[in-house]
Structure 1
């Protein structure tokens, strides 16, 4: 928290210098100061990633996803802003100390990038317990925050909620198959790149991890030789620089080696995840399923369909992107979709010209 506050002080100080400059000043100094502000914002984001790590170590990552979004729509909830000089912070800190004295793990929401509901989060199970610390009578905004927390807690208690995130009904079910993650292989790829200048490793058919530490290294040729038919690429440095990693498990948990993590944080290594969607098509076909892919403009990445029964299911991009940001196995993501598909009831097929409909009436 001290480091986050330190970065916030730097930002405020530089902003005050910028305001003192002539509005018509187009010198390099203005651009340099604006760049330094972004650097400190990036630094604060990095420190909050360690706060995220605490939350994800204690609680379920799929449960934590819910506290990143608004409860009335699917947009990410606006973060709380600066901790520095925050009104009510003293009360929040007293609340934290109270729970810690009782032996209850408690986390200040403002030192995370992910937890955007409540001031305090108690970590006593897989689901977050959110507490809003307010002094005096609640205003309109305070009542909205209270109602949002109640809606989230109801979802955690019952595993379903109507209207959450603006959706008709949200229901959660546990995955039958344990998740498969290749975070250790990604870390190995980055370490190898630091030694050799570049590294390309495939942990699963169709899935490739690429890391480059030598700017002169040319990886275009080996990538082209992979013969990918329907590739999708994730430049992880861009996600990090855009401060857009949440609500996924933070990379500071996936990359455990300190030197390797440091290289990635400061951009000394370029990391890319590449996957060939053709592998999903082949795997689906081998199990008697058809698959249709959608563009990024759609909410879902694909739809699986069982021709004989009419059952179908879609997988959201938000879930599919875990293959890059959490280094999850694409084959596991497909298997979870098939699990849910099989659990559905068969959909009656429309009669064809050869069907004797008289026997169905």
Structure 2
């Protein structure tokens, strides 16, 4: 389905590029959102049409299989358009703050999406608020145009933290409305105070800004992609224990990729898998990481495969170089890297969300160690043993 929308795709990329160069270009911000809304509604109409045929009594098994594949293609197409919406949010807002808009406030699991954009009774009111904000030079986005922002209807983007707003056509006091307001209150309080006693059920959740500039290897990734399209395969090793691969899908898998290079305990991130299954969130979308529009087009169409391999033993060695004891446990789903500061039992865990940035955002493995490198030596007395987990 996305193959038929090439012109819109490249126009969306051009408008997004304008925003990356000038965040005050609210004309491009408005135009991109109008384009995305039209394209998403278009795919929703396609899904409805296919589902209506699928329910027909005369559809044989072969036709059913075909229609189901077409429905999935439409859903993937809508996901791609919303990835451009995610990119808008990540251009204006702090990536770590955006993560909180993806999860439920009561527990750390993804909040369900809002469903079809064209089904919303209050869409007209949401658009009115969006355009009013833009007319007053306040950057804003309709949250239903994103995959990541799942709270509120309109998000104001005038500061680094999102300001989420619920839009109601008529006053409502039902249970659902109460839960929505409660969730927004929790998020607003967290963004204002940098802490919460209610978010995710954690009685002491805190956040603290990283002090050093981020190190990422986006350029090396894009060079790999260029090589893969020209010669069939590209690779790079920005750091010890970190390997980037890009492979044209019509080529056979090189031995270096099949064996994960020199990784002793490989942790592989195949970009096509989470993007194809529509669960990339809440990371920086590949729409921003892959700079060239032709390269991005090749990726979303499956013409190239991108894989980043991290050696888990290298993560432990980085911790050891800082004077601590680290252990990576792949069976620990939420916080796989544990760090022990000394014999007094003090320690901390690094979340899978944070570590996943190495493979999903091209972040340096050293980047994810900055938080405890900067704080643990002086603040070790503040850690209360293995039960304390930072908000990362």
Same fold (TM over 0.5): yes
Task: Note the alpha carbon deviations across 1:74-121, whole angstroms, 9 max, x for none.
Answer: 110000010113111111111112212212111100000011100010
Where does 1:76-115 land on structure 2 (aligned, <5 Å)? 76-115=110-149
After TM superposition, give the deviation of residue 344 of structure 1 in Å.
Answer: 2.2
Please, which runs of 5 or more residues in structure 2 have no aligned partner? 1-36, 385-392
CA distance in 2 between partners of 1:348 and 1:74 (Å): 22
| 1:235–1:272 Cα contact (<8 Å) kept | yes
After TM superposition, give the deviation of residue 304 of structure 1 in Å.
Answer: 1.3
| 2:260–2:266 Cα contact (<8 Å) kept | no
The change in CA–CA distance for 1:101 and 1:302 in structure 2 (over 3 A counts) is same
| 2:102–2:151 Cα contact (<8 Å) kept | yes
Where does 1:103-252 land on structure 2 (aligned, <5 Å)? 103-138=137-172, 139-221=174-256, 224=259, 226-252=261-287
Name the SS of the counterpart of 1:227 in structure 2.
Answer: coil
Tell me if 1:311 matches 2:346. Answer: yes
Name the SS of the counterpart of 2:96 in structure 1.
Answer: helix
Please, which runs of 5 or more residues in structure 1 have no aligned partner? 350-361
Partner of 2:368: 333
CA distance in 1 between partners of 2:184 and 2:312 (Å): 38
Task: Note the alpha carbon deviations across 1:300-356, whole angstroms, 9 max, x for none.
Answer: 12111122664311101111001111111011112323223224233899xxxxxxx
| 1:120–1:131 Cα contact (<8 Å) kept | yes
Query: Residue 65 of structure 1 is aligned with which of 77, 95, 99?
Result: 99
Tell me if 1:7 matches 2:43. Answer: yes
Name the SS of the counterpart of 1:271 in structure 2.
Answer: strand
Task: Note the alpha carbon deviations across 1:127-175, whole angstroms, 9 max, x for none.
Answer: 1111101132322101110111011001111111112022222111000
CA distance in 1 between partners of 2:381 and 2:238 (Å): 35
Task: Note the alpha carbon deviations across 1:234-264, whole angstroms, 9 max, x for none.
Answer: 1110011111111111110111101111111
CA distance in 2 between partners of 1:335 and 1:109 (Å): 32
CA distance in 1 between partners of 2:261 and 2:72 (Å): 37
CA distance in 1 between partners of 2:165 and 2:256 (Å): 53
Partner of 2:70: 36
Computed over aligned residues only, the root mean square deviation of the Cα atoms, in angstroms, reads 1.9
Name the SS of the counterpart of 2:348 in structure 1.
Answer: strand
CA distance in 1 between partners of 2:109 and 2:383 (Å): 36
Query: Residue 293 of structure 2 is aligned with which of 248, 254, 258?
Result: 258
| 2:217–2:364 Cα contact (<8 Å) kept | yes
Query: What is the TM-score of this pair, normalised by structure 1?
Result: 0.92
After TM superposition, give the deviation of residue 290 of structure 1 in Å.
Answer: 1.0
The change in CA–CA distance for 1:300 and 1:8 in structure 2 (over 3 A counts) is same
The change in CA–CA distance for 1:249 and 1:218 in structure 2 (over 3 A counts) is closer
CA distance in 2 between partners of 1:270 and 1:170 (Å): 38
The change in CA–CA distance for 1:195 and 1:320 in structure 2 (over 3 A counts) is same
| 1:314–1:337 Cα contact (<8 Å) kept | no
Task: Note the alpha carbon deviations across 1:211-230, whole angstroms, 9 max, x for none.
Answer: 11053333224653833211
Query: What is the TM-score of this pair, normalised by structure 2?
Result: 0.85
The size of the alignment, in residue pairs, is: 348
Moved more, 266-275 or 163-172: 163-172
Name the SS of the counterpart of 1:345 in structure 2.
Answer: helix
Tell me if 1:284 matches 2:319. Answer: yes
